[in-house]
Amino acid sequence: MLELHLHLDGSLRPETVWDIACTENIDLGCYNAEDVKNKMICPPDCRDLNEYLDKFTLPLMVFQKASHIERFAYELTQDLAKEGLEYAEIRFAPSSSMKDGLSQTEVTEAVISGIRRAMKECPSITVSLILCCMRGSDNHALNIETINVAKKYLGKGVCAIDLAGAEAIFPTSDFEDLFRHAFKLDIPYTIHAGEAAGPDSIAAAIDFGAKRIGHGVNCIYDPELIERIIKENVTLEICPQSNIDTKVFPNVNDYPIKKLFDMGVKISLNTDNRTVSNTNLPHEISLAHRFGMTDSDIETMWKYAKEAKFN
Ligand SMILES: [Zn+2]
């Protein structure tokens, strides 16, 4: 098994979040680790991606010091190895961990150090990192810095960049210059698109040169776009539980994973946020079965993921 779409800050162990909050005297408004866990998990009445993203406020409160960031990266890599993954691409936004004075370089070095420590102990897994630029109106300089840090560590722990955040508020088309810059620097990229916005968002990401799309499920409304995705060999990073949480399809039975797969779209299966969506790959596999995927389809999805991995 392998996964290509997994956010570090959405996949922290709640007991570690609680431990750090106690040690550092950080008031999370929680009583114990169980309470932390309940507050980190997306509730069933979550209405959309914007509400889902609120769930990242709490983990980011304890994701500001290099030693803690290193520990979280180490633990997630351990968790993935224990689950039986042979390869994973973990993503995070270095610019979200600068509140206590860390630079994006220091944040990235802490994560690299954590995954390397775990890989030494668990040689069955290889982990590579994707640095996320963040959607927003006033963070252009921070995003350019993220790309420059990705260049610095490309092939030395980092394999690509991404664009994450509130897609319905900040459209993909506003961020072309970031991907021009990344293209010039020869940095591969994936882009969150077609999750909280429609087919135009996906088309813009492909126009920018993305060969992988985070989610992309809303392409189902545009047959011509689906043809383009197939023709241009774009792989979709599908995250079923996360899409259920954010109500991408009002009727969960409309989830189009099987339909897209049968049309010939290359799909990989992912968790997105293991803690926030209270999921893991075995759970995503059971959801894929529920949506009509066979064992053989799931094998093919691992193959697609292998072909599309950045490292
Ligand atoms: Zn994501």
Output the pLDDT for position 50.
86
Dihedrals phi, psi of 158, to nearest 5 degrees: -105, 140
Query: Residue 270: which CATH number?
Result: 3.20.20.140
Q: State the distance from the centre of ligand 1 to the C-alpha of 220, rounded, in angstroms.
A: 19
| pLDDT tens by residue, the chain, 311 residues | 999 999 999 999 999 999 999 999 999 999 999 999 999 999 988 989 888 989 999 999 999 999 999 999 999 999 999 999 999 999 999 999 999 999 999 999 999 999 999 999 999 999 999 999 999 999 999 999 999 999 999 999 999 999 999 999 999 999 999 999 999 999 999 999 999 999 999 999 999 999 999 999 999 999 999 999 999 999 999 999 999 999 999 999 999 999 999 999 999 999 999 999 999 999 999 999 999 999 999 999 999 999 999 98
Say what the pLDDT of residue 93 is. 98
Nearest to 273 by CA among 247, 246, 251, 295: 246
Residue 203 Cα to ligand 1 middle (Å) = 18
- In the chain, the N- to C-terminal Cα span, in Å, equals 15
HSE toward the beta carbon, residue 237, CA cutoff 13 A: 30
Identify whether 89 is a catalytic site residue.
no
Measured CA distances, 157 to 8, 114, 134 (Å): 14, 11, 20
In sequence order, which ranges of the chain are alpha helices (DSSP H)? 14-24, 33-40, 49-53, 57-61, 66-83, 104-121, 140-153, 176-184, 199-207, 223-231, 240-245, 257-263, 281-290, 295-308
- What is the C-alpha to C-alpha distance for residues 41 and 193, in angstroms, rounded to an integer? 23
**Residue 47 domain boundaries:** 2-308
Q: Give CA–CA dist 162/215, Å, rounded.
A: 12
Out of 89, 109, 145, 195, the active site residue is 195
Please give the distance, rounded to the nearest whole angstrom, from the Cα atom of residue 20 to the centre of ligand 1.
25
| Concatenated DSSP letters of 149-181 | HHHHHBTTTEEEEEEES-TTTS-GGGGHHHHHH
Give 1 Cα–ligand 1 centroid separation in angstroms.
19
Tell me the chain's radius of gyration from C-alpha atoms. Answer: 18
**Contact present, 161 and 131 (Cβ < 8 Å):** yes
> Residue 104 in contact with residue 152, Cβ under 8 Å?
no
Cα atoms in the 13 Å half-sphere on the side-chain side of 119: 16
Give the span between the Cα atoms of 263 and 217, in whole angstroms: 13
Instruction: Give me ligand 1 centre to Cα 138, in Å.
Output: 21
Residue 40 neighbours by CB under 8 Å, 6+ apart: 12, 14, 17, 55, 58, 59, 275, 276
Please state the domain count of the chain.
1
Ligand 1 (ion): which residues have CB within 5 A? 272
Task: State how far the Cα of 34 lies from the Cα of 204, in Å rounded to an integer.
Answer: 42
Which pair of structure tokens corresponds to residue 90?
A: 């973990």
- Measure CA 201 to chain center: 17
CA distance 9 to 228: 33
Distance CA 294, CA 83 (A): 21
pLDDT given at position 230: 98
Calculate how far, in angstroms, residue 192's C-alpha sits from the geometric centre of ligand 1: 7
